[in-house]
Structure 1
């Protein structure tokens, strides 16, 4: 199936969320509750279960996982560097910097399974387990500094970090969940992807980007041009297996995390500006992600 068609079901859910929120009685208040449900329960359950069910291979973690961490690390460095550019608004930067390096795991997990089956899902789970803590730590830092929040307290309360750390600890300890617990977590986590994707669509908005268009453009260039280019170079330079190459490049080209809006709002950041960035990133990702995979295919 062509890459664009592989992505179509996931982006169709985003469009459904947008239409339902705008044109039915299931408007914004419904989706505010849905976002909290996904962020605090469904998605942590999905992360924990995916990590526990897929044993980590040290060789894979060092090469493939290291490439993913390198991509995210480059995004963090580039996003933070924008703060030194003359004229950049500190409040907007503290809120929006996270959109340059965070990634939409809802789309990523759904896509990885379509690209490389169950093994692709395991590879994506590895990237999520390694990169979610790094992304969330880097996202919380500028917001905590700008808003006067306790940095360590915010990290300790972040549900995605807690679920990832718990999953890694259980995985490394060789914990096997009882069947009833595994099935229950699987069903809870299964609701995260469709609801998360629809919540992304429900939150699409543009207006506040007028307050910092230059910063927004720079963040999107990092997210959708520089990081995919780096991932392609790493995938080919490290001579990764074909399936891993596709998952890594797709990971680097993902739209930014929809939960960036929730985090910015909860920590006193400029929520509407971040919502605009998430919207633009989602729309760019619809075309940029299959483009990045097509470039990878041509360069192999």
Structure 2
């Protein structure tokens, strides 16, 4: 009951946003602006102020990266391979990579971070920040490269310069790097700066979760329900299970294990849908999986956390 009391209010914010959208109380178009504020202002502030206060040795936990990052990449590769084997006539590199992203890329920033902040406070924020950077700095560019390589137009080349700029200017990655530098220097944040960034960071949870609900649509789930359910089951059950097995194999501590599994068990990342639209590849599938994983993760996340 105590666990449900901590987690259910987080999903209640998502439901509130969804009700505001379907009822017409607030325009769905507002979701993009809220997401932008959360991603470009609130999340970097929270990530920086969390990392800047931590000693460097606590930030470089290789076992956490091996468990969460290794598990995510293993599942990504496995789904790509499985998709090519199951439907070889309809799969190219870009299509199979996008389906893999729908399963393996997780919404660590907007969902896992608020949950872990509620459960563990600053250590939870730190774990979610590391996972978010892994998704943004490793998985996102890998997916972009695969999508570029999968394009049939042989005259196109991978836009490495644009890709590097996109990664280097990512606000979460920048906040992480600056926070790491501040941690290495070892200077305390001035109290007014600390308070300012903390206030901005506190806006992340309600703003991001409400925007997710406001943008949530259920209509696309009506077609190919079984196919979407399979991808959703892989996302919410198998990926966290693989990450949990790696946590045990690496001897990761209990708190970090819960954080890694939560990061793996949250819904599919919105960035996967952005790329699906940009490259016009499996966008309806990715959108449907994001909606279904957002809805069902209310139950599966509670189950994972209760088990752990």
Q: TM-score, normalised by structure 2?
A: 0.80
Query: Of 155, 165, 168, which aligns to 1:156?
Result: 165
Q: Aligned partners of 2:11 and 2:208: how far apart in 1?
A: 11
Q: Which residue is equivalent to 1:202?
A: 214
- CA change 1:24–1:215 in 2 (3 A) is closer
Contact 1:206-1:275 within 8 A present in 2 as well = no
Runs of 4 or more consecutive aligned structure 1 residues displaced over 6 Å after TM superposition: none
Q: Deviations over 1:105-125 (max 9, x none)?
A: 222122213323333333333
- CA change 1:164–1:96 in 2 (3 A) is farther
2:266 paired with 1:254: yes
Q: In the TM superposition, what are the counterparts of 1:52-71 in structure 2 within 5 Å? A: 52-57=52-57, 61-71=61-71
Larger radius of gyration: 2
Name structure 2 gaps, 5 residues minimum: none
- CA change 1:74–1:95 in 2 (3 A) is closer
Q: In the TM superposition, what are the counterparts of 1:32-71 in structure 2 within 5 Å? A: 32-57=32-57, 61-71=61-71
Q: Aligned partners of 2:271 and 2:63: how far apart in 1?
A: 28
Contact 1:228-1:253 within 8 A present in 2 as well = yes
Distance apart, 1:72 and its partner CA: 1.9
Q: In the TM superposition, what are the counterparts of 1:119-158 in structure 2 within 5 Å? A: 119-146=123-150, 150-158=159-167
Moved more, 183-192 or 18-27: 183-192
Q: Aligned partners of 1:212 and 1:55: how far apart in 2?
A: 49
Distance apart, 1:211 and its partner CA: 7.2
Distance apart, 1:8 and its partner CA: 0.3
Distance apart, 1:193 and its partner CA: 1.9
Q: Deviations over 1:171-227 (max 9, x none)?
A: 445465444333333222222221111111122224445776676445323321222
Distance apart, 1:272 and its partner CA: 4.3
Contact 2:50-2:122 within 8 A present in 1 as well = no
Q: Aligned partners of 1:66 and 1:173: how far apart in 2?
A: 27
Q: Which residue is equivalent to 1:16?
A: 16
Distance apart, 1:134 and its partner CA: 1.9
2:119 paired with 1:110: no
- CA change 1:2–1:236 in 2 (3 A) is farther
Q: Aligned partners of 2:194 and 2:145: how far apart in 1?
A: 34
Contact 1:79-1:219 within 8 A present in 2 as well = no
- CA change 1:18–1:229 in 2 (3 A) is same
Q: Deviations over 1:239-293 (max 9, x none)?
A: 4333223222222211222343334335555544422211111112111112223
Name structure 1 gaps, 5 residues minimum: none
Q: In the TM superposition, what are the counterparts of 1:243-282 in structure 2 within 5 Å? A: 243-266=255-278, 268-282=280-294
Q: Aligned partners of 2:278 and 2:84: how far apart in 1?
A: 25
Q: Aligned partners of 1:8 and 1:172: how far apart in 2?
A: 37
Moved more, 103-112 or 121-130: 121-130
